[in-house]
Structure 1
């Protein structure tokens, strides 16, 4: 069983980022982000231990400095996080480095972001100019540029604490910030509320400590900071915790974060064992306590046959049925106005990349049938990409490395199929795992060949079996909404 750890890498990224700190093609370069920051004063220098369910798994070092960026008075907020992860009895490291620059009024100027997860690197840099954020991204060896419209209230993920402090800390205050999530290239709302203020000791001195609640996509975390801006602690419902420590204690060796523990944290238990799930053609499944605002999906492959809706949470019974595939005689490239969106490319699904296009041509050959071409790509990805719990950053990255978890398989399948002219979706949801004895977060695909057909290039299945419950379709930004459900 190779479920995805993507949702928890996102949780880890968001957790660390929040503490420390629609897109159009553009050609402008990010000039400011390339210039050197000249520091004149260090305002804060913080060390924290990172914990998962009480076990120390790494550290975070954060600094805040006053100086000049490209000659302009500014403040730099910088954080470096290093987390040790145990995958298949091998120690690996996740490293996140962020730099964000704000002017004297607290507005975003520019940022640099570097992510290295088990050797798979992504670099994002951006500059705010004329009401837009001009972004350059290098993911898996491919560079792209984007222009993203911004509001006055937009910050990067590493600037949330700075945004709170800039407005002042007053119990009862609540604000909604627009946060640009660097690796996802998307702006999302984060609500922040100051819950309480208590006296406490930090560094041997008594000070006011504020408790702040952060809410993102239904995930609520708690941040405790001093009125001067020092972090005391942050916790999240997923079991992550950051604690203020001295440098030596923060950098002390801990215990590698077990990827199995991460996966088990997302498991949804069931009342009975499912035998031979990969061969199952029909399943009735009841989900309980789903937030009432969550957009559950009812389509041709899964039907909601009953629901009990409450003010805060609802229960649903789904009937998932594997439909027979009929060859409608559709040929490639498939051309329908309603499927155009599912032929597009981005920095994760690089369908327009020459290497991806050439591989798609090699796999499909002279095949003209959309059904048979989709099957050929499915067989190739399933057989040739090694199934490992490795978090790649793009389809191109997966193709080059030849390995990845289910998200990597789904992204690569989507890129190859789209490059071959077949409309393809990336699906996120739950699938039953015999290994773990419950439902786990998983990613797979749907292709349009005259009808939308679900398929699983990781676990196998064309069509996918009936234990696949779809919760979301789209890229990583679309998957964010299910983070509050999984785990």
Structure 2
């Protein structure tokens, strides 16, 4: 089985969380918010993975009559099958004089695909407009009054740089349209050489979902260096240094190696397994593991390693579960109406999606048989490539993508014809890599929930699919609590 069929973590999510310059740190400005004519700071940084440059980030902070404008840009270049895959992130954030969010404009581009999100704060709510292939979707989310915006939190807290300062605040992450808690702590000071001179810097540690980033910041707020998980580092650079790229880009397969979880023993025939019992170690909160119709979690055991760090190991039993109850599409729709709703990434109300899906299922009335037809079509017609896509429409137009792309298109098709469907994210075993890789797959309701896998062509997902998170893009940040932290031990296999 090719590696590309098994690789999940959307690259945008990896770089959002692993490249601190993107998280901390252009679209057109909004003239209605006034002029910003006082430059406060301007920074360029190189983004490195395993000591190789893969991109750069840029941040400019300006002050005006209405408050502040923070402009961020980042570019990432990776290599997929010897072909460059370019990604760019651009964000303009408008803050009040008190450094509170007023508005943002976020643009994300992967190759020729683009997604633009704008957000405006009104009466304690954030009104979002998400534009991509297929049109514009709207969403309103509640935010707490003290919520910070992901890329501007460093600036907002810059006057708090004092050893011992620690605070946990909610932040809104535009790429995921989600709010999470971030802990910001100044843990010490040290001297670093900057432009040939020794400079005092504060050591700032930030943590989100347990993933820590360490930043080295001068008393004036200039970031010299940032270190994050999976060997990602950002280093201060000049503009000319930042914009310069070598010809050899880092292959995406390097990221796959870092995310691979190798169990204590290989699994010979994952597709044949009926029941898989394993233990997941390194968990901080085992109660967050999903416990559902095919996956059950046993009593966790607390363990302490040589460094006296505590974690939990939880026994997990997963069954390959075929449906035993069957409903018509009409009956399934009535039973689970919330799982038929469109979303910005899964445009089940789009005319093109509806038209193709109806052709796929023909006159089929049975929900399970309709789901199987959709699964077969996506497996056969979408090429397995390490290419990220924002939406189901993007996948339908390009006919290529990784597992998230297959899952989004399948889910859009299913919902569009009345078959309730939802997204699961987690791990699946790769025979080629002899380990577990991050993956996404859909679940459908046909009288009971069934896990399917259009990426692998499985009408019933095999028992090596370990569900870690349920839900769409807003929930994907929860995967970060597992990346690079957990281990897997195979306890028993039943065929």
TM-score scaled by length of structure 2: 0.90
In structure 2, what is the equivalent of residue 196 of structure 1?
Answer: 188
Cα contact 1:20–1:62 (8 A) shared by 2: no
Q: Distance in 1 between matches of 2:72 and 2:29?
A: 19
Cα contact 2:323–2:449 (8 A) shared by 1: no
In structure 1, what is the equivalent of residue 350 of structure 2?
Answer: 353
**Structure 1, gaps ≥5 residues long:** 22-30
Shift of 1:114: 0.9
Q: Distance in 1 between matches of 2:250 and 2:230?
A: 13
Q: Distance in 2 between matches of 1:90 and 1:32?
A: 33
Cα contact 1:333–1:422 (8 A) shared by 2: no
Q: Distance in 1 between matches of 2:52 and 2:95?
A: 35
Is it true that 1:81 corresponds to 2:81 in the alignment?
A: no
In structure 1, what is the equivalent of residue 487 of structure 2?
Answer: none
Q: Distance in 1 between matches of 2:55 and 2:142?
A: 35
Q: Distance in 2 between matches of 1:34 and 1:3?
A: 45
Cα contact 1:73–1:103 (8 A) shared by 2: yes
**Structure 2, gaps ≥5 residues long:** 305-309, 485-495
Shift of 1:263: 1.1
Indicate how the Cα distance of structure 1 residues 304 and 136 shifts in structure 2: closer, same or farther if over 3 A, else same: closer
In structure 2, what is the equivalent of residue 298 of structure 1?
Answer: 291
Tell me the secondary structure at the aligned position of residue 328 of structure 1: coil
- Matching of residues 7-406 of structure 1 within 5 Å: 7-14=10-17, 15-16=19-20, 19-21=23-25, 33=30, 35=32, 38-67=35-64, 72-165=65-158, 167-203=159-195, 207-254=199-246, 255-292=248-285, 294-305=287-298, 307-310=300-303, 312-332=310-330, 334-337=332-335, 339-406=336-403
Tell me the secondary structure at the aligned position of residue 431 of structure 1: strand
* Aligned residue-pair number: 472
Cα contact 2:329–2:418 (8 A) shared by 1: no
Indicate how the Cα distance of structure 1 residues 438 and 211 shifts in structure 2: closer, same or farther if over 3 A, else same: same
Shift of 1:479: 2.3
Cα contact 1:32–1:127 (8 A) shared by 2: no
Q: Distance in 1 between matches of 2:365 and 2:11?
A: 40
Q: Distance in 2 between matches of 1:304 and 1:178?
A: 30
| More displaced 10-residue stretch of structure 1: 297-306 or 155-164 | 297-306
Shift of 1:16: 4.0
Q: Distance in 1 between matches of 2:221 and 2:403?
A: 40
Is it true that 1:480 corresponds to 2:477 in the alignment?
A: yes
Cα contact 2:326–2:367 (8 A) shared by 1: no
Q: Distance in 1 between matches of 2:287 and 2:79?
A: 33
Shift of 1:177: 2.4
- Matching of residues 418-457 of structure 1 within 5 Å: 418-457=415-454
Residues 218-259 of structure 1 deviation map (CA, whole Å, 9 limit, x = unaligned): 111111111111111111022111001122222222341311
Q: Distance in 2 between matches of 1:245 and 1:102?
A: 26
TM-score scaled by length of structure 1: 0.91
Q: Distance in 1 between matches of 2:91 and 2:471?
A: 26
Cα contact 1:108–1:155 (8 A) shared by 2: yes
RMSD value, Cα? 2.2
Cα contact 1:387–1:458 (8 A) shared by 2: yes
Tell me the secondary structure at the aligned position of residue 373 of structure 1: helix
Tell me the secondary structure at the aligned position of residue 355 of structure 1: helix
Indicate how the Cα distance of structure 1 residues 120 and 33 shifts in structure 2: closer, same or farther if over 3 A, else same: same
Cα contact 1:332–1:420 (8 A) shared by 2: no
Residues 76-98 of structure 1 deviation map (CA, whole Å, 9 limit, x = unaligned): 11121111110111012111111
Residues 248-274 of structure 1 deviation map (CA, whole Å, 9 limit, x = unaligned): 222222341311011111100012222
Q: Distance in 2 between matches of 1:129 and 1:331?
A: 40
Cα contact 1:370–1:422 (8 A) shared by 2: yes
